[in-house]
DNA sequence: GGAGAAACTCGACCGCAGTCGACTTTCTCT
DNA sequence: AGAGAAAGTCGACTGCGGTCGAGTTTCTCC
């Protein structure tokens, strides 16, 4: 049986998160002040800091709910019978779609997840466990089906995939990529190479190679760069 | 001949950056307030915002000087005769060394470069041009020497390398990696795979594979994860 | 039951980044 | 040269995230 104290604490915590979900969704993260949040949650401003170390930490708690939902939706769409590459691309693009669906949220989220501050380190680690284990599952299934080379290292593979995910996310915030369609082409080519080696470009369709050619040119022109 | 106006502007700009270099180096970024900076530069606080959109932008200007220096030092150390993999690893690790040499600076820098805000987008693009063209050079030389497969795409390769760089940087800020030595092992394995396919692990030394095994175990234990 | 300790709550308060409009300097054009 | 426009300067001011210590509630133990 929970004491009065513990009960109230959970209640308060929930009130804060609920208020955060409402306000962040309504007005955005930056536009919601801690005083407002406190008022909406029916507590004093200082109280919030007994539950969260910083505003960013509330944001990550807020994200947990959203991510739970998004991942569940993604799971439903993911076809376990599809070729490995397709599954990995779908998962990656799905996440990118979700994260970038709100530009401001996505940037804060990405920053906290990829380069967390001392205060959000733990929360960020918790959050990406879900992601890691998801990739692990997909790869595990695939390994059993013999789709993966025997001698490849699953964790290194996950590292590559994670690296690709972060990179493509970054290209969005740097305006190097602007459409999800373009992102998918890039992700697919990179994943293909990671799975099957640098010559795996040949496995891509002509259309994909064509699109990549355009992307490439656009990128180089924008930077007045040559290779 | 420059007018009085333009002359003063450049003077003021220099004064601000000089003050920033001094103060940021002395006391750190967060610990330096804009008022202090203004006082040190001998201008009003508002004036600074006529030259820089935000504090972060001053930071990136500050970084430009530091990076110039660091890259030059790296260039001198880089052995153009060494095998491609070694050069790429050296370049990547060199950058990581530099960026993480001050934890706080590195985090802010990484955040602004990888997921720039609207105000620092341009500055960040400018900064990584140097990096991109550096990689381009190394790859170009190597391609001429025939070290690279004919049919691989240089820009895709750069994307992979950049992805690896960001990933490993991220692992530092997430406490998954703590020493540069570990980082080097990870970078080397990932680069090997990117250049020569997933089976390229065989090209690593026994010692490297051993170290990777330890890293792997440590990582999985920390997260109570299995693959 | 009650007293003292421990945990929790609160909003006034702090220093901050960034804004604004009154003021000064420089440019431009006759 | 000088007047009016344009550009640049300034620090008081705003609202922010986060702290703090006084006050309140809950727990603990006799």
Write the CATH number for B30.
1.10.10.60
Are A128 and A165 members of one domain? yes
What burial letters (b/e) apply to A135-162, b meaning 16+ CB within 10 Å? Answer: bbbbbeebbeeeebeeebbbbbbbbbbb
Structural domain includes residue A3: yes
Structural domain includes residue A33: yes
Task: Please write the tens of the pLDDT for every residue from B194-215.
Answer: 999 988 999 999 999 999 999 9
* Rounded CA–C1' distance between A64 and C18, in angstroms: 31
Cα gap A60→A37, rounded to integer Å: 15
Burial class (CB in 10 A: 0-12, 13-18, 19+), A220: middle
Are A84 and A38 members of one domain? no
* Domain housing B208: 62-222
Question: Where on the phi/psi map is residue B54: left (φ > 0), alpha (ψ -120 to 50), or beta?
Answer: beta
Is pLDDT at B1 greater than 70 in this prediction?
Answer: no
Provide the shortest C-alpha distance from residue B140 to chain A (in Å).
Answer: 7
Report the residue of chain B nearest A222, measured CA to CA: B125
Residue from B180, B92, B193, B196 nearest A156 by CA: B193
Q: What is the pLDDT of residue A1?
A: 64
Chain A residues with beta carbon closer than 8 angstroms to that of B125? 174, 223
Residue from B20, B21, B57, B52 nearest B37 by CA: B20
Strand D contact with B15 (CB < 7 A):
no
Are B89 and B178 members of one domain? yes
Report the residue of chain B nearest A212, measured CA to CA: B156
Structural domain includes residue A210: yes
Query: What's the complex ipTM?
Result: 0.92
Give me the residues of chain A with pLDDT under 70, please: 1, 150
Are A44 and A25 members of one domain? yes
| Counted domains in chain B | 2
Cα gap A172→A167, rounded to integer Å: 9
Are B211 and B153 members of one domain? yes
Q: Is-contact B151 A223, C-beta < 8 A?
A: no
Q: How many CA atoms lie within 13 A of A125 on its CB side?
A: 18
Are A62 and A102 members of one domain? yes
Task: Please write the tens of the pLDDT for every residue from A69-125.
Answer: 999 999 999 998 999 999 999 999 999 999 999 999 999 999 999 999 988 888 888
Are A44 and A67 members of one domain? no
Structural domain includes residue A227: no
Structural domain includes residue A179: yes
Cα gap B26→B13, rounded to integer Å: 20
Are A39 and A73 members of one domain? no
Contact across the interface for A220 and B155, Cβ inside 8 Å: yes
Question: What's the start-to-end Cα distance of chain A, in Å?
Answer: 68
Are B28 and B66 members of one domain? no
Strand D contact with B38 (CB < 7 A):
yes
Structural domain includes residue A132: yes
Contact across the interface for A133 and B159, Cβ inside 8 Å: no
Provide CB contacts within 8 A for A33, sequence distance 6+.
none
Structural domain includes residue A61: yes
- Nearest residue to nucleotide C7, by CA–C1' distance, is A5
């Amino acid at each position: 049986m929970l004491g009065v104290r513990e009960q109230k604490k959970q209640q308060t915590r929930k009130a804060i998160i609920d208020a955060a979900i409402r306000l962040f969704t309504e007005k955005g993260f930056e536009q919601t002040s801690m005083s407002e949040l406190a008022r909406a949650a029916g507590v004093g401003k200082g109280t919030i800091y007994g539950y969260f170390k910083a505003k960013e930490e509330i944001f990550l708690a807020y994200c947990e709910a959203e991510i739970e939902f998004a991942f569940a939706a993604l799971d439903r769409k993911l076809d376990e019978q599809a070729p490995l590459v397709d599954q990995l691309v779908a998962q990656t693009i799905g996440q990118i779609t979700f994260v970038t669906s709100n530009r401001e949220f996505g940037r804060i989220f990405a920053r906290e997840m990829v380069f967390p501050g001392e205060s959000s380190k733990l929360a960020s680690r918790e959050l990406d466990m879900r992601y890691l284990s998801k990739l692990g599952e997909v790869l595990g299934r695939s390994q059993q089906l013999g789709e993966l080379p025997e001698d490849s290292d699953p964790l290194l593979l996950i590292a590559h995939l994670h690296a690709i995910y972060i990179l493509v996310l970054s290209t969005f915030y740097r305006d190097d990529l602007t459409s999800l369609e373009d992102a998918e082409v890039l992700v697919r080519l990179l994943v293909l190479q990671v799975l099957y080696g640098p010559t795996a470009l040949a496995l891509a369709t002509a259309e994909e190679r064509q699109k990549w050619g355009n992307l490439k040119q656009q990128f180089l022109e924008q930077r007045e760069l040559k290779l």
